[in-house]
Amino acid sequence: MIRSMTGYARTELKKNWGKAIWEIRSVNQRYLEIHIRMSEEFRELEFAVRQYIRSNLDRGKIECYLKFEGGYKKEEKIILNKNLIKKILNTIQWIKLHINEGNINFLDILKWPGVIEIKRDNLDEIKTEIFSSLKFTIKKLIEVRVHEGILLKKIIEERLDLIKYEIKKIKIQLPKVLKLYKEKLFLKLKESQIFIDKTRFEQEVLLLIQKIDISEELDRITIHIAETISIINNIESEPMGRRLDFIMQELNRETNTLASKSINSYITAATIEIKVLIEQMREQIQNIE
């Protein structure tokens, strides 16, 4: 199923031990790039969080944040990291000595990561519940990405229909264009008074028409359109962004050849319109997983 790489999900978990908030942002990226931020007491969850994200998402820049606000019980111990506090104070004193500015705010020091550790007897239980909340958040993110993917699919289908319409117009005009081209050649030869027998003339015209014939390019574009439709209608969850990007490159290449062979302003205009539509699709495909 087509999925966007852009999305946002937030889950707030409230329990007797406090509150945990997961926030996950996702934007387009060529590969999967994961950034995780959480408090020290849950740092050992990072590997499992990273692996779970990798098992559910294939592409995108993922920013995953865990905000934890713990409730405190009387039986829980508050442990101060005295060595860290001394280092912070020494650093602040050194800065104050050299720039002669700033005051020490002890509350800010206590907020420093790793200064305070709450000894919780139920920490394993808390971690299990928080990880379950992560799974739910990832599910919400995927739903957002799928919803946006459906919108992208609609945009791509609209552009493909417009390209097919332009191809149809070119195919209708092509026999007329080739006939007119043949007549122009004959008229020029007649005006230049160059004698050439009819058989030779037909052979030369045939060679020239073969060089400017765009039927093959039109057929290839039609094949690429069919392949694109097949990919975006695939109900499997496998990523398709890279495949679609490759097809856009091929479509663009065939259209460039089409433009170089064009001998008629009508076909040239249609080709330019096709190029514009391909570029519009390519921009949207950059957001597909």
- Residue pLDDT, tens place only, 130-178: 999 999 999 999 999 999 999 999 999 999 999 999 999 888 887 777 6
> 174 and 88, same structural domain?
no
199 occurs within a structural domain: yes
Is 164 part of a structural domain of the chain? yes
Q: What are the pLDDT digits (tens) for 197-212?
A: 666 656 655 556 655 6
Residues 178 and 280 in one domain: yes
Neighbours of 188 (CB within 10 A): 10
Neighbours of 208 (CB within 10 A): 15
132 assigned to some structural domain: no
Give the residue numbers spanning the domain of 274.
Answer: 149-285
CA 26, CA 207: separation in Å to the nearest integer? 55
Can you tell me the mean pLDDT for 51-67?
95
Domain assignment present for residue 144? The answer is no
Same domain assignment for residues 85 and 209:
no
One domain for residues 158 and 257: yes
32-37 and 18-27 as β-strands: parallel, antiparallel, unpaired?
Answer: unpaired
Alpha carbons 60 and 289: distance in angstroms, whole number: 7
pLDDT at site 204? 56
Q: 96, 63 in Cβ contact below 8 A?
A: no
Q: Tell me the sheet residues that pair with 238.
A: none
pLDDT at 182 over 90: no
Residues 194 and 246 in one domain: yes
d(CA 41, CA 56): 25
One domain for residues 163 and 278: yes
Evaluate whether residue 191 is within a structural domain: yes
Is the domain of 187 the same as that of 108? Answer: no
Mean pLDDT of the 107-118 span: 66
Q: Say which DSSP state 288 is in.
A: B
Within this chain, do residues 204 and 115 fall inside the same structural domain, yes or no? no
Number of structural domains, the chain? Answer: 2
Residue 102 and residue 213 in one domain: no
Same domain, 111 and 159: no
Q: CA torsion angle for 80, 85, 86, 87 (degrees, to 10)?
A: 130
Q: In this model, does residue 10 exceed pLDDT 70?
A: yes
**Rounded to two decimals, what is the model's pTM?**
0.73
C-alpha distances out from residue 213 to 185, 189, 258, Å = 16, 21, 9
Same domain? 100 vs 204: no
Same domain, 154 and 105: no
Structural domain includes residue 189: yes
Is residue 43 in a domain?
A: no
Residue 33 is predicted with a pLDDT of 96
Mean pLDDT (the chain, rounded): 83
For the ranges 76-90, 101-115, 238-252, the lowest mean pLDDT is seen at 101-115
Q: What is the share, in percent, of the chain residues with pLDDT greater than 90? A: 51
Q: How far apart are CA 214 and CA 219, in angstroms?
A: 9
